[in-house]
Structure formats: C-alpha cells, structure tokens
Amino acid sequence: MKIDRRAFLSLGLGAAAGTAITPVPWKLIDDSSIWTQNWPWTPVPPVGKVTHVNSVCTLCPGGCGITVRKSGDRAIKIDGRNDHPINKGGICMLGLSGLQLLYGSTRIQTPLKRVGKRGENKFKPISWGEALSLVQESLQTLRDEKKTKELACILGAQGVVADLFGRFFQTFGSPNIFKMQTAEDISAAGLKLMQGESSSIAYDFDNADYILSFGSGLMDGWGAPGKMFQAHGQRKSSLKQSSVRFVHIDTRLSNTAAKADTWLSVKPGTEAVLALGMAQYIIQENLYNSSFIKQYTNGLDAFKDLLDKNYTPQKAAGITGLDEEIIRFLAKDFTQAKRAVAVFGRGSLESPGSVQEFMAIHALNALVGNINETGGVWAKPTVETNNWIAAALDDIAIKGLNEKCIDPDAKDVSNRPHRLIDAIGKTKESPISMLWVAGANPLYQLSDQTSVQKAFEKIPMIVSFSSFMDETAVQSDLILPDHLYLEKCAEIMTPPGIQKPIISLLKPVVNPLFNTKHTGDVIISLAQKMGGSIAGAFPWSTYEECLQKRLGTYWKKLQDKGFVETESYKPVKRFLTASRKFEFTGEGHTAFTFNLTTIEGELKRFPLVLIPCDSIRLVADGSPTPPFMMKSLEDTVLKGNDVLVEINTNTAKSLGLKYNDVVSLSTPRGTATVRVNVHAGIMPDVIAIPRGLGHSAYDDYLAGKGVNYMSLIGPVEDTVTGQDAAWGIRARLSRA
Amino acid sequence: MKHSSTHQKTNKYGMVIDLDKCTGCGSCMVACMAENNVPFRKDETDKTKSITWMRVYKINNGKSFPETDICYIPRPCMQCGGVHDDGHSPCVSVCPAVATDYSQETGIVSQIYTRCFGCRYCMAACPYHARYFNWWDPIWPEGMERSLSPDVSPRMRGVVEKCSFCFHRYQLAKNKAFVEGRETLKEDEYQTSCTDACPSGAITFGDLNDPTHAVYTLKQNKHAFRLLERLKTNPKVYYLSTRSWVREACDNYIKGEMPQIAAAHHH
C-alpha cells in the first residue's frame, strides 16, 4: 500500500484520536501512581483484637498510671490512666513514647559476654545459665579469698529490687553499696535535722494558695511531673482569675517561670540566700506566725543571729542581684497568704542541691507555720509493708561487713558514688574487683566524666543489669539484661513530692520480647546458687512471690485496681525531734550555718557561669530519649548534631556572637563545641545548656547529638551529706 | 461536595486550647505521633521537613531581660471552613485531585493519601503550615513497626499529610454507636489523642454546634480567638489567653484592645 499524504495524515490523526480516547495511558498513569505508593516497605500494621492493660509508668520516678492499647499481642499506644490519682489521665511525652523503647533497637536481647576490648561493643550472646555461673564463680572466688568487700554496686533502682541487692550484699559480706543520689536524700537529711523525720519532703500543692518556688522546675520535670502538670491545669485558666499565687525564682525564663504569675531572677545558685533575706525581714517585722513559733519551734533566736549579721534584705540583694525592696515585698506577700509553701529542689531534681539550701528555704515554711497543715508541707508519708526477717550471716559475711565501706561516711548505703570513683582513681589498683550496675548509667550520669571513665577502666569486672546498650553497658564485661517496664511486675511507692501515700503496681503489658530476666529474679537465683546462708536469706522462688509477701494485704487490691491510695490522709501535727519541736538550727546544732555552694573555676579565666537547663522533652537520667522526643526538640535546642546553648542578648553582643554561631565552650573540666542561641529570657553572663544530650551510646536517633553537661562539670560536696551538690560551673565561650 | 443526608445531624468538631494552662510540655505532639503512625527520621532539626501534625510553637513578647515572656501555641490542623464556613477552605479549594475534602458531616478536612500525587498546592495555600510533605519513605528502625497502629495507614513518599482530628477515633466511635443503635456520639466518646494526653487539661475538644459540649461555651469566652482571623479561613481551633501580647501576636484583639496596643507601639 502506498502511503500518500492524505493517508499519512488520517493515520496520524486516527492514532492521536485513538490515544486520546483509549483509557490505556490514563490507566497507566493511575497504575503508576498507585504502584509508586505501594512499596512493599510501606508497612501495613496487622489488625488484632483490641485490648487495654492498666499499669504504671516507671520511666521517671513520677509513677503515672497508664493504659496501654493493644492490637493482638502488640502494644500500640500508651495513654494516661484517667482514674489514677497522680496524673488523672494526662501523660508526658516520655510516657507516650514508651513503646519506642519497648520495641527499640538498642535493647539488649540476651545475656552478653564481652569478647572484644572494653568499650569496643563486641559481645557474644550466652545463656542465662552460663551468665549466672560466670558471676557465681567470681563471687565464690571472692568468698574463698575472704575478699567479699571487693564486690561493689551502683544502684539507681528503688524499692524491693534495691532491697534485694542490699540483702545480697549483706549476706555476701560487702559494705560497698552505692546509690545514685537524689534530691530526696537532701530534703530527707534536712527534715531529719529540723523535724526528726526520716523521709523526704512533700508539698500539698492541691490546697496551697501561695507557691514560692526556689528554682524548682515544677513544669520542667520536678517531682511527679504528671501530678505537677495536672495541678497547674487545676490552678490556672483563662476563664477565671486563680486564687493561688505562684512565684518562681529562676535564673532563666524556664517553662516554669513562664507559667508563674511572677518570675524573679536571681544570680545562679543564690536562691537560698533570697529565702534567708526574706526570713530576716519576716522576723524583724514580726510577720511570722507567732503562736506556731512559740508552741512548736526552737532556735529562732540563733537563726535570727545569723540572718541579722549576714542576710538582711540589703545584703541578700547584693548577693542575689534582686532589688532589696522586692525581697521585702516578697517576704510580706508570702506571710500574707493563708497557706503559703516555699518549695525546695532545683530544676527537675537532677541536681540535688545542699542541705543548708533546703534548711534556708524550709525555714520559711516554719515562719508561716504551714507545716503539717492542709495546704502546707510535711514529710512524705511512707506506706508500711511487711519487712523481711533479719538475715542470718556467716563468718565471711560478718568479717566483710566489719570492714569499712569505701565511702567512710556510709551507713548501710552510700549515696555518694563520686567517692567510689575518687577512691578507685587514687589507688594504683582498684579497691574493688567486681562492680554491679543496676538502674543507673554512671558513665553518663556522674560528673567529671573523664575521671569516671578512667576509674571504670581500672575495675577488673563490670556487670551491667541494663535493658539498653547504654554507655555503662558498653563498658561492661557481662550484661544480664532486665525486662523493660512494660514486661514486668514491680511496686511503685509514693513518688517524690507527693503528699498522700500511694502504692501502684506495675503489671506486665506484653510478654517479654527477648531473652531478658527480671533483675529481682536474677538476684534471687544468684543467691540460691551461692548456697549457704546467702541462699537461706532468699526463701522465695520468684521475685513476684517476694513482692507479694512484701506487699501483704495490699497485694490483692493492687492486683484488682492497680493502685492503693489513702485519699483522706492528713498529716500528724507533731515533730519527731528530741524536743518535739521544729529546730531552726537543726537538731544538735546551736547555730544556723549557711554557706553558698561554691562552684569551680576562676572568674578571670572563666567569666561566665554554666548552668543546666532541664526540660520535660529530654531524658536526663542516662536512659535513652526516644526518637519522638528528639523530634519534638525545638531547633533552638538542637540543630543537626549541635546543641545550642542559651545566652542573653547583651552577653552575645559583648562577645560578638549571634544566633547559630559555632563556639567553643570551656569549663575547668572540659571543652565542647556548641552553637549559640541568643535569648532575652536568661540573665546576662550565664550560659544554659540543655541536660540530657551528648550520648555516645544508643541508636542514631540519639547518639552523637549535642554535649553531655556532666562531662563539663565536676563534683562539689555538700557540707552536711557529702553528696554532689554542684549546680553549675564557671565557663568561657570563644569562637571555635 | 457531598451534602449530608437529611436524617444525619451535622456536627462541627473543634478545639479550644487554653494557652494559660498550656505549659509547652509537648505531650500533644508526641501523643499525635504515636496515635497516627507519624514517621520520624534520624535528624529532625530542619523543622520545614519535620512532620508534626500537631506542632507547639514558642513565641515571645520581644522584651528584654527580665521583662521577657514566652507563650507556647499548640497548632493542629485548623480544619478551616472557608469564608462562608461551607467547606471552601484554602487547601480544599486548590487540590486538583480531590485528595483533601471537607466533610459536611463533621467539619473535618480529610486527606486521602492514595489520591494525593504530591503537587503540594495545599501546602502553599495553608496559612498555618499545618500540612507536611513526605520527602522520603517512612522507615521504622528494626522492630519498631510493631508499635504501629492498624487504625491509621502509614503514609508513603510523595504525599501530603496533616492532622485529621484523629478521624479514625470518630469512625470507631460511630461504629460503636451504630451497633448500639445510636445516631449521635456523646462528648467523651470521641476525643482526639492530644486532648486525652494533655497533662494540664489545656485542650478541650467537642462539637462546636452542640450547646451541651464544653467547646460551645468556651469558644464564646471573651478571651477566645483564632489564628489569623483576618484571613477569614474560619478555623475550628480556638485559643484562650488572658495576655494581650499573645492575642496581638496571633493577630487578634479583644474589644477595645486594638487602639491601646496600636498607641503603645507609637511610643
């Protein structure tokens, strides 16, 4: 067939028309768009039967009730438990991200034995039988050589698990139990001196009408955060004026400062001096509750002596940088409220503070007589549970326990782990040959990280009980991984700062995903493997049985409801000191002494002050911050892998720095490269660094981002307890 | 646009967020991510590419130390009704694929991922930056896929996503009501994930048309406002704040306030 012009054109037109009319190309485009959206790697979550399991969150000490939604055997969402007395339905972002920890890739899936060099992160999986035998053999050698005191542990764990460790150490014969320090230890030591109590402090925020916070990050992770947020929501609303006044003292405009009715800034570390200045004015002007003072207190005159000498509002103004008129006004304001509370505990309580600071602040509560009163302050109530019968000790144990703990001031337990690090650093050979670490991550959490690392290198054997491959686990020789909180049973006693007794029961939400074991069970098995009087002190076959016996009559109620609270709890109006009175100067002291906790560094070399900035969006206790939380960090906190430190607009100007500049941050303990965030809401000459970044361990979502604040500071001992009371350090910023 | 059948009651779901209660804790952001299978990446610090259906913004009053003040503003999708509140919201109006639509039944702006072909007109049209584009395929670290909810389909590269007021929760509640022979939902039967999680109770959610719901009264409070009201997008998210500088920053004034602020600025 000859193709002429006419045929060519009609064929062409026909083809064009055909192409336009046929659905094929459109179908192809449609198919390709569907096809490009249906990659096999886009997951299709399987559908399962929906169930809900109630439990408790233990990712912080706050103890919020949670309800976990499950689809089949998978946990798919954590919500706050509506009827739990702590959080009443609310939940923080860490609690919400719990499943990213449960199903995360940094969990340790089986017992591990180190095969590479220390810290190389080369381990081989071993069985539980093998792992326990390894520990038992080493322990037996220590027993045989009568060197039981060479076993030490660092614990972050609380409650029955911590008690099991204690009992093991006692029957084994080692006095070297170290606990990570908490602010609760400090307030407990202070309350012992002033009120003769042995528990930490609690505040009745539900009924107080004036809250004066001395740097307490009530909205930044302080105490039981779920409770603190819930109480704030009750207090504050756009709909009506609140009848509660909330005054916050802070060096920077933290989230807590932003939520306070009044934010007053003092020079970092001088919060307690403001309290003393106020106290001086209150006493001088007779603004105190005279009937309470007369009937229930001792030592006001001695207290007054010190105040008149050193802490008049004028002098306090010089130290704190606040106007003295403001100090007087605040003092008057505080005494005019009906139920005013002065709150102790810096930031999110990661920096415990000093006993003298506690006493200075708590004295205000006594001056207004708001102790053991509704809307006031009292010692946190403890819940009576069944104690164990005293363990029988053999000769080796008795000999070991007669030796002194490495920390000479320790009674039973030392909450000064930095002294262990010190002792190891000072001697040629480590005084301990085996270290157990449970519920803590000292290679991230303790200050002066360089010394901690060096000390750990000297310890011949390190055993970690961690659920995650954290900094300490990486440096261990043997890892005996614990279940995660959603896989196990445990009890949670009244959280920090909570004024009414509450016990909650942690219940397994899912079956353990991996070959992990409850640390409580591991200790019981180890004890039984050791035999003799050690085994005799552990008559339980499982941890759960041990817990059940401890909780006694509460057990059934806890099983049914998940928590037991004493809602009607009222504080007893009494003081447990020998005089049965509140002692301003502390029991056994005739004068009130106060020294500001000094920080390291010379002013000349380090003209600025570095303080940590606590946030509910970062996990600061050495546990991992899950990806969702990292995602929620503002870009003024983290940019790429760089942390931004906050400095005042004027400080930036005088240093010639602007937002996002890369600078070198140096302190007497270390140097780091950071970026600068210029903000008007921080006092000049202060640098604030977010706490919780700078992990070398964990996954790519967290590791290598930012700087660990603890690597930039060193310990400063509290004059009363010897605990690390450092709240900051002198520092310098220079262009990198 | 489909209109609801005659025997179906129309709802107008909306939110009132009390900024005086909001502490900036960010629970709403994570509650949303966990509920809606929102993906996450190793570096989320470029916020223009970080998918946050609910995002908490931080604003300040611009004053120097110590007069500085900050305020947090949680921002979900505003579920705009458009000028006449009839569904001509900025995004719906520009979508060439009907991938986003306005539901007359609930007042919620939908997003159908498989229809979206990623032109991102809607993102350009949205004055609230509430829409996000999937520049990458979502990848969950090994094992973490087990935490995904079957109620919300994970998205894929090349589509836009945004807050749906947890529409799947509405569907589940409706199913339950249907089985029980009810047509209407009770206030507490349908709540968004962020509302449930907010630990200070700053978020209230419900039917803005229903006088028995808390949001109905709250939205009429004198301190209530919406973001960029001048644009007449008719958002269904209201805010409450007693601080005038916050309302000003959100381009809103209560009666008689505007001239004062304007005067203050001329000083």
Q: Render pLDDT for B46-81 as a digit per residue (tens, 0 to 9).
A: 999 999 999 999 999 999 999 999 999 999 999 999
Q: Give the C-alpha separation, A661 to A674, whole Å.
A: 8
The residues of chain A scoring below 70 in pLDDT are: 1, 33, 36-38
The closest CB to that of A229, out of B25, B64, B240, belongs to B25
**Taking a contact as any Cβ pair under 8 Å apart, which residues of chain A between 37 and 96 contact chain B?**
37-39, 41-48, 69, 71, 74-80, 87, 89-93, 96
pLDDT tens for A658-714 read 999 999 999 999 999 999 999 999 999 999 999 999 999 999 999 999 999 999 999
Query: Would you state the pLDDT for residue B261?
Result: 52
Closest CA in chain A for residue B64 = A680
Q: Tell me whether A680 touches chain B (CB under 8 Å).
A: yes
How do beta strands B13-18 and A461-464 pair?
unpaired
The closest CB to that of A39, out of B27, B156, B221, belongs to B156
Closest CA in chain B for residue A322 = B66
Residues of chain B found within 8 Å of residue A239, distances taken between Cβ atoms? 18, 218, 221, 223, 240
3-state secondary structure of B167: helix
CB contact under 8 A, B145 and A102: no
Closest CA to B248 of B62, B18, B21: B62
Cα→Cα distances A361→A201, A215, A249, A275, A276, Å? 12, 11, 12, 5, 7
The closest CB to that of B147, out of A48, A76, A683, belongs to A76
Q: Which residues contact B220 (CB under 8 A, 6 or more apart)?
A: none
Closest CA to A625 of A176, A104, A188, A207: A104
Interface A–B counts its CB contacts (< 8 A) at 230
Tokens 């779901």 — which residue?
Answer: B13
- Are A614 and A620 spatial neighbours (Cβ–Cβ below 8 Å)? yes
Q: Tell me whether A105 touches chain B (CB under 8 Å).
A: yes
- Compute the residue count for chain A: 736
Q: Give the C-alpha separation, A198 to A326, whole Å.
A: 35
Query: Would you state the pLDDT for residue B1?
Result: 45
CB contact under 8 A, A628 and B33: yes
Q: Tell me whether A671 touches chain B (CB under 8 Å).
A: no
Minimal Cα–Cα distance from A573 to chain B, Å? 32
Q: Evaluate the CA torsion angle A668, A669, A670, A675 in order and state its sign.
A: negative
Closest CA in chain B for residue A220 = B25
Q: Give the C-alpha separation, B240 to B248, whole Å.
A: 12
CB contact under 8 A, B143 and A104: yes
Alpha helices in B121-257 (DSSP H): 121-125, 167-179, 193-197, 214-218, 244-249
Closest CA to A161 of A565, A552, A524, A621: A524
Q: Give the C-alpha separation, B149 to A111, whole Å.
A: 31
The closest CB to that of B197, out of A41, A79, A103, belongs to A79
Residues of chain A found within 8 Å of residue B41, distances taken between Cβ atoms? 631
pLDDT at B262 over 80: no
CB contact under 8 A, B23 and A103: no
Closest CA to A62 of A184, A164, A179: A184
Element (H, E) at A536: helix A532-536
Backbone angles phi, psi at A465, to 5 degrees: -110, 20
pLDDT (mean) for B149-177: 96
Cα→Cα distances A280→A24, A315, A615, Å? 89, 11, 33
Using only the alpha carbons of chain A, give its radius of gyration: 29
Backbone angles phi, psi at A434, to 5 degrees: -140, 130
Cα→Cα distances A461→A16, A175, A472, Å? 80, 18, 12
**Taking a contact as any Cβ pair under 8 Å apart, which residues of chain A between 258 and 277 contact chain B?**
258-259, 263-265
Residues of chain B found within 8 Å of residue A692, distances taken between Cβ atoms? none
Element (H, E) at A275: helix A271-284
Q: Give the C-alpha separation, A471 to A442, whole Å.
A: 8
pLDDT at B266 over 70: no
Q: Give the C-alpha separation, B158 to B132, whole Å.
A: 10
Residues of chain A found within 8 Å of residue B137, distances taken between Cβ atoms? 39, 41-42
Cα→Cα distances A673→A695, A712, B200, Å? 15, 12, 36
Minimal Cα–Cα distance from B161 to chain A, Å? 14
Q: Which two tokens stand for residue A101?
A: 């920890």
Strands (E), A461-590: 461-464, 478-479, 490-493, 502-506, 563-565, 582-583
Q: Which two tokens stand for residue B120?
A: 């991102």
Query: Would you state the pLDDT for residue A115?
Result: 97
Q: Give the C-alpha separation, A352 to A416, whole Å.
A: 12
Q: Tell me whether A588 touches chain B (CB under 8 Å).
A: no
Instruction: List the domain boundaries for chain B.
Output: 13-266
Tokens 């004198």 — which residue?
Answer: B222
Residues of chain B found within 8 Å of residue A688, distances taken between Cβ atoms? none
Q: Which two tokens stand for residue A710?
A: 């603890």
Minimal Cα–Cα distance from B94 to chain A, Å? 20
Closest CA in chain A for residue B146 = A74
pLDDT tens for A636-648 read 999 999 999 999 9
Question: For residue A234, how many other CB atoms are within 10 A of its CB?
Answer: 16
Residues of chain B found within 8 Å of residue A238, distances taken between Cβ atoms? 18-21, 221, 223, 240-242
Q: Which two tokens stand for residue A65?
A: 């009730």
Laid out side by side, the sheet with A177-179 consists of A123-125, A112-114, A478-479, A461-464, A434-438, A151-155, A177-179
Minimal Cα–Cα distance from A236 to chain B, Å? 6
Cα→Cα distances A183→A20, A107, A180, A189, A245, Å? 76, 29, 10, 10, 25
Q: Give the C-alpha separation, A193 to A184, whole Å.
A: 14
Residues of chain B found within 8 Å of residue A636, distances taken between Cβ atoms? 58
Q: Give the C-alpha separation, A315 to A311, whole Å.
A: 5
Query: Would you state the pLDDT for residue A6?
Result: 87
Work out the percent of chain A whose per-residue pLDDT is above 70: 99
B68, B132, B194, B239, best to mutate vs chain A, most A CBs in 10 Å? B68
Q: Give the C-alpha separation, A224 to B199, whole Å.
A: 12
Query: Would you state the pLDDT for residue B260?
Result: 58
Query: Would you state the pLDDT for residue A41?
Result: 77
- Are B254 and B229 spatial neighbours (Cβ–Cβ below 8 Å)? no
Q: Give the C-alpha separation, B204 to B22, whole Å.
A: 12
CB contact under 8 A, B64 and A649: yes
Query: Would you state the pLDDT for residue A362?
Result: 98
CB contact under 8 A, A87 and B199: yes
Question: For residue A21, how many other CB atoms are within 10 A of its CB?
Answer: 8
CB contact under 8 A, A37 and B158: yes
Query: Would you state the pLDDT for residue B83?
Result: 93
Return the ∠ at Cα A611 (arms to A606 and A613), rounded to 5°: 150
Minimal Cα–Cα distance from B33 to chain A, Å? 7
Work out the percent of chain B whose per-residue pLDDT is above 70: 91
User: Is there a cis peptide before residue A684, judged by omega within 30 degrees of 0?
Assistant: no
Write the single-letter amino acid at A189.
A
Q: Give the C-alpha separation, A269 to A252, whole Å.
A: 12
State the virtual CA torsion across A179, A184, A189, A190 in degrees, nearest 10: 160
Question: For residue A490, how many other CB atoms are within 10 A of its CB?
Answer: 25
pLDDT tens for B184-240 read 999 999 999 999 999 999 999 999 999 999 999 999 999 999 999 888 999 999 999
pLDDT at B267 over 50: no
Domain B13-266 sits in CATH at 3.30.70.20
- Are A172 and A710 spatial neighbours (Cβ–Cβ below 8 Å)? no
Cα→Cα distances A658→A197, A606, A678, Å? 51, 20, 7
**Taking a contact as any Cβ pair under 8 Å apart, which residues of chain A between 150 and 209 contact chain B?**
none
Closest CA to B162 of B131, B118, B121: B131
CB contact under 8 A, A681 and B58: no
